[in-house]
C-alpha cells in the first residue's frame, strides 16, 4: 500500500468519525419529529389543565388554561387516574357582579342553525364568590358527543345562551372557538 493510499484511508476514517455522530443526531431528530407528526394524540396547543379534579389527569388548550378573560365555556379531556378510563367534559361558567343568574338551561347555536341544549340539574351546579364576582359553574360529561360537537364548532359563529332568572347571551370569539376545536380533536384521538 502506498503512502497516498494510507493517508487517504486515514482521512476517510477521520471524516467518518466526525460525520457519523452528526448523521446520528440528524436522524434521531428527524425521527422524533416524524413520530410526533404521526402521533394521533399530538394536537397543537394542548397542555395539562388546571380545571380537572384530583382523580383526573386532564388536558385542555393553552388559551383556555391561561386566559385572563372570563370564558363561559371550557372543554377538558383526559383519563381518570385510578382506572385509565378516558373522559371529556364541558364546563359552563357565568360571571356576574351583583348576584347569580340562576341559569336552568344552556343553549348553543351556530350560524348553520344547529342547536345544542342542556338542562341544568341544580345539585350539579356550583356557585362561588371570588373577589368581585359570583361564578356559576356547571360541568357535564360529553364523551359520546365529541365528534358531533367538533362538527358543530367548525363554524365561524358560535353563540352561547344561559337561560335563568336573567338571560345571558354571548358570542364566542375566534380564539376561544379555535381552542375548543383543538381540545375536541385531541379528545377524539385520545379516546380511540
- pLDDT per residue as tens digits for the range 32-82: 444 443 344 567 889 988 877 788 888 999 999 887 778 899 999 999 888
Beta bridge partners of 140: 90
Sequence-distant (≥ 6) Cβ neighbours of residue 33 within 8 angstroms: none
- From residue 81, alpha-carbon distances to 31, 37, 47, 58 in Å are 30, 27, 17, 10
User: End-to-end CA distance of the chain, in Å?
Assistant: 63
CA distances from 76 to 12, 82, 117, 185 (A): 56, 18, 19, 11
Q: Tens of pLDDT along 77-115?
A: 999 888 889 999 999 999 999 899 999 999 999 999 999
Amino acid at each position: 500500500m502506498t503512502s497516498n493510499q494510507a493517508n487517504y484511508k486515514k482521512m476517510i476514517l477521520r471524516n467518518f468519525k466526525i460525520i457519523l455522530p452528526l448523521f446520528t443526531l440528524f436522524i434521531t431528530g428527524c425521527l422524533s419529529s416524524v413520530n410526533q407528526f404521526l402521533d394521533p394524540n399530538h394536537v397543537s396547543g394542548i397542555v395539562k389543565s388546571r380545571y380537572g379534579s384530583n382523580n383526573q389527569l386532564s388536558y385542555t388548550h393553552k388559551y383556555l388554561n391561561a386566559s385572563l378573560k372570563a370564558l363561559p365555556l371550557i372543554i377538558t379531556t383526559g383519563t381518570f387516574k385510578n382506572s385509565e378510563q378516558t373522559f371529556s367534559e364541558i364546563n359552563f361558567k357565568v360571571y356576574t357582579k351583583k348576584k347569580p343568574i340562576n341559569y336552568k338551561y344552556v343553549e348553543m347555536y351556530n350560524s348553520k342553525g344547529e342547536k345544542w341544549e342542556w338542562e341544568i340539574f341544580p345539585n350539579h351546579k356550583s356557585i362561588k364568590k371570588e373577589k368581585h364576582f359570583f361564578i356559576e359553574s356547571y360541568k357535564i360529561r360529553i364523551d359520546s358527543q365529541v365528534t358531533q360537537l367538533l362538527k358543530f364548532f367548525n363554524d365561524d359563529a358560535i353563540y352561547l345562551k344561559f337561560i335563568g332568572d336573567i338571560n345571558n347571551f354571548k358570542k364566542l370569539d375566534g380564539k376561544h372557538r379555535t381552542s375548543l376545536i383543538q381540545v375536541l380533536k385531541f379528545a377524539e384521538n385520545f379516546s380511540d
